[in-house]
Structure 1
Amino acid sequence: MTTMTTVNRADTAVVGGGIVGLAHALAAAKRGDRVVLFERDDFAVGASIRNFGMIWSIGQQRGAIYERALRSREIWLEIAAKTGLWAAQSGSLHLAHHPDEVAVLEEFLAITPPARERGARMITARETLERSTTARADGLLAAMWSPTELNVDPRRAIPAVAAHLAAEYGVDIRFGTTVRGINLPGVSTTAGDWEVGRVFVCSGNDFETLYPEVFASQRHLMRCKLQMLRTGPQPDGWQLGPMLCGGLTLLHYAAFDDCESKERLAARMADQMPFHRENGIHVLLSQTADGRLTIGDSHAYAKTLDPFESEEINRAIVDYLGTFAQLPNPEITERWAGYYPSLRDGRTDLIAEPEPGVTVVNGVGGAGMTLSFGLAEEVIAGR
């Protein structure tokens, strides 16, 4: 008696259920592919749910990366319109309490016409306080207002995107399934073998299981550990409005790298806030769908990082937040660490083809929520 073996087939397989994997599954499905996505955990637990939920176009490298971020924003809004996903078009305020911060913001706008064309501009302290009841008034000189930043709730958004892919495009999402090996057209998993035409490996912080040689050759690829905090829901339905940041953020994002005035700011911060600079601290403030406030973060880079949180770093984050923002209820209810791969040579992503038909996509750093949808469209279109 002959036993018939059922063969699972798809056009495209995606490994990884974080935002990078979901974005590639969406782009492939929109192209008309039959897509299967494998995620080893029962639900997403990595960097994609441990972040601010900021779609932060304004901080990205000028040029193609900035445009990629804006395209990602469009896709987030498309998904929100179809699913009811919470996506607040809140915009952002870069608050300036020192003249050197004003100088960097003014220079950035002077050399970045695309941001100005999309509404970014300097506003007075009075105009800032009209837009934000959270911004600290004492010592406030001005702010840069940008309308393009979008706020989603990552712990809700990532599962909602996965459900949307399954319902709208028929993507076969296999949570709790580990990919053991790839030998095209075969893909071996803990839930059976598949035959596929292409594979996109979007494994995030686990870059040592599949194609470790790709990552071993990247001497600038490091893991980044960050610390973040969250308050409880704010009272009486209070809303943050624009997402906020202060002067330290101008030293973190690539958008400001070419600003000559940044050197003076960096020198002051090194003198006045050495602990913050040594620990890669800059502070952003966003909100969740149920009114909680997310605060962070710090940055430590190494191949291997310890798993422990430093309360001194947490205090430094909260203390710096207090220099530019005041919260109705600042009580912290959650603390956590996040980990993601980051390229320390200025690249925004790592795209590699270790064998025909297999594409590794990694190294998006802390901009996964901001860039992944646009990046995936570009990667899929080129293959």
Structure 2
Amino acid sequence: MTPSCDVAVIGAGILGLAHAWSAAKRGLRVTLFERSPRAAGASIRNFGMVWPIGQPAGPPRETALLSRARWLELRDTFGLWVNECGSLHLAYREDELAVLEEFVSQEGGPTDALRLLSADEVLARSPAANPESLLGGLWSATELCVNPRTTIAHLPEHLQDRYNVDLQFHTPVTRVDGHKIIAGDGRTWHADRVVVCSGSDFETLFPEVFRNAPLTLCKLQMLRTAAQPDGWRIGPHLAGGLTLRHYTSFRDCPSLPALCDRIDRETPELNRYGIHVMASQNDAGQVILGDSHEYGEEISPFDKPEIDELILRELRRMIRLPDWTIAERWHGIYAKCTDGLVYESEPEPGIHVVVGPGGAGMTLSFGLAEQQWSRWAGPSRVEP
């Protein structure tokens, strides 16, 4: 007899896990498929930043804040590590400080959760901030830090234990024929609803859907230090002036074009590789450093040592660490929707493709999944 379920979720990265959790909370029978023994794509190759401040005000920020609430629920429900650390954008140049001032003004002025800090106030919040030439910084209370590797590894088991989610790992799905799921070894399942969250491998199951979809691939390079000595912590997530040109939340600040022009004049090599620098610290005390952005045909399977050196050069100007020993280097590739927060398609009734949150997967996925399941099936019917 062909096994059946209410919902089949294909892909156990962060977006697939979010959809599986939201469906299971509604009392639906869920089967989660993953081609590998455990997910190993972009969902484990990131800072672990839940970053609402990077999303512009309005629906994108609301989705990010909903996702933030779900992360805290995840912590309280399953005991996974989630650190309410907040974030600091550090300003070392006058144009950086001007953008931060404009951003606070556009957000409605300073509050306890969002305000400009003096240099001394920044240093009181983070021992990692480089005091040399520091002008001040932007404090935001909404950001969280999570550990992507442990979350992606353990959340499926928690879903299985609490909601009886059927885990079909090491099971590549090669075809979706209507509501029939066909695995590479010939096994089949029937699902009333199918949600495809296949990450950067978005062309495999529905190539005709993706032929003209507004999706592109992005490659990033990142690094991780050894655990810092004696329990030393950086405090909040740290970002700098380069980051202001990366996140769309700052795009309407009047001083931003001049900042971008100055960066292009002084350090065009950073624009060549899409480098902006940030730092986060996980529960093991390791500091995650990055990152870069190469798109489409620029992507190569071979990492560029010069990118790592540029990342470290810029970070050393911004932060100080007791131990800069680099314990790991890696790259990730993710799909990015160029026309919205995420790409959604329904090639057949009840068959949903949801991919491409870009570099904001940790920030948006739980919120996106909850919003989509509220549309598809109404609010949750069971306790979290």
On the 8 A contact 1:222/1:303 being kept in 2, the answer is: no
> Gaps (5+ residues) in structure 1?
1-5
- Residue of structure 1 in register with 2:289 after alignment: 295
Offset at residue 172 of structure 1 (A): 0.8
- Residue of structure 2 in register with 1:371 after alignment: 364
- Residue of structure 2 in register with 1:3 after alignment: none
On the 8 A contact 1:118/1:148 being kept in 2, the answer is: no
On the 8 A contact 1:19/1:369 being kept in 2, the answer is: yes
Helix, strand or coil for the counterpart of 2:328?
strand
- What is the distance in 2 between the residues matched to 1:350 and 1:93? 30
> Gaps (5+ residues) in structure 2?
377-384
- What is the distance in 2 between the residues matched to 1:122 and 1:9? 54
Of 257, 263, 266, which residue of structure 2 is paired with 1:263?
A: 257
- What is the distance in 1 between the residues matched to 2:174 and 2:338? 29
- Residue of structure 1 in register with 2:64 after alignment: 69
State whether structure 2 residue 225 is matched by structure 1 residue 252. Answer: no
- Residue of structure 2 in register with 1:314 after alignment: 308
Code of the residue aligned with 1:53 in structure 2: it is G
State whether structure 2 residue 152 is matched by structure 1 residue 162. Answer: no
On the 8 A contact 2:119/2:135 being kept in 1, the answer is: yes
- Residue of structure 2 in register with 1:34 after alignment: 29
- What is the distance in 2 between the residues matched to 1:223 and 1:231? 27
TM score, norm. by length of structure 1:
0.95
Deviations, residues 39-73 of structure 1 (Å, cap 9, x unaligned): 00011100000000000111112211111111111
- Residue of structure 2 in register with 1:341 after alignment: 335
- Residue of structure 2 in register with 1:282 after alignment: 276
- Residue of structure 2 in register with 1:82 after alignment: 77
Deviations, residues 220-263 of structure 1 (Å, cap 9, x unaligned): 41110000001011101111211101100000001111112101
Helix, strand or coil for the counterpart of 1:230?
strand
Deviations, residues 160-181 of structure 1 (Å, cap 9, x unaligned): 2212211111111111011121
- What is the distance in 2 between the residues matched to 1:354 and 1:361? 11
Helix, strand or coil for the counterpart of 2:200?
coil
Structure 1's consecutive aligned runs of 4 or more residues displaced over 2 angstroms after TM superposition are 115-118
State whether structure 2 residue 334 is matched by structure 1 residue 355. Answer: no
On the 8 A contact 1:16/1:201 being kept in 2, the answer is: yes
- Residue of structure 2 in register with 1:23 after alignment: 18
- Residue of structure 2 in register with 1:93 after alignment: 88
- Aligned pair count reads 375
* Alpha-carbon RMSD: 1.3
State whether structure 2 residue 53 is matched by structure 1 residue 58. Answer: yes
- Residue of structure 2 in register with 1:235 after alignment: 229
- Residue of structure 1 in register with 2:118 after alignment: 124
Offset at residue 83 of structure 1 (A): 2.0
Offset at residue 185 of structure 1 (A): 2.7
Code of the residue aligned with 2:145 in structure 1: it is N
Offset at residue 200 of structure 1 (A): 0.4
Helix, strand or coil for the counterpart of 2:201?
coil
- What is the distance in 2 between the residues matched to 1:344 and 1:269? 24
State whether structure 2 residue 8 is matched by structure 1 residue 10. Answer: no
- What is the distance in 2 between the residues matched to 1:190 and 1:215? 21
- What is the distance in 2 between the residues matched to 1:86 and 1:262? 35
- What is the distance in 2 between the residues matched to 1:89 and 1:40? 33
TM score, norm. by length of structure 2:
0.95
Offset at residue 116 of structure 1 (A): 5.0
Offset at residue 86 of structure 1 (A): 1.2
Offset at residue 117 of structure 1 (A): 5.4
- What is the distance in 1 between the residues matched to 2:71 and 2:164? 19
Offset at residue 92 of structure 1 (A): 0.4
Deviations, residues 294-347 of structure 1 (Å, cap 9, x unaligned): 0000000105721111111100000000111011101111111100011234x2
Bigger mean CA deviation after superposition, 187-196 or 137-146: 187-196
On the 8 A contact 2:123/2:131 being kept in 1, the answer is: yes
Deviations, residues 329-377 of structure 1 (Å, cap 9, x unaligned): 01111111100011234x2110101111101001100000000000001
On the 8 A contact 2:178/2:348 being kept in 1, the answer is: no
- What is the distance in 1 between the residues matched to 2:97 and 2:90? 9
- What is the percentage of aligned positions where both structures have the same residue? 49
- Residue of structure 2 in register with 1:146 after alignment: 140
- What is the distance in 2 between the residues matched to 1:367 and 1:381? 21
Question: Structure 1 residues 87, 35: CA separation in 2 closer, same or farther (over 3 Å shift)?
Answer: same
On the 8 A contact 1:184/1:196 being kept in 2, the answer is: no
Code of the residue aligned with 1:9 in structure 2: it is S
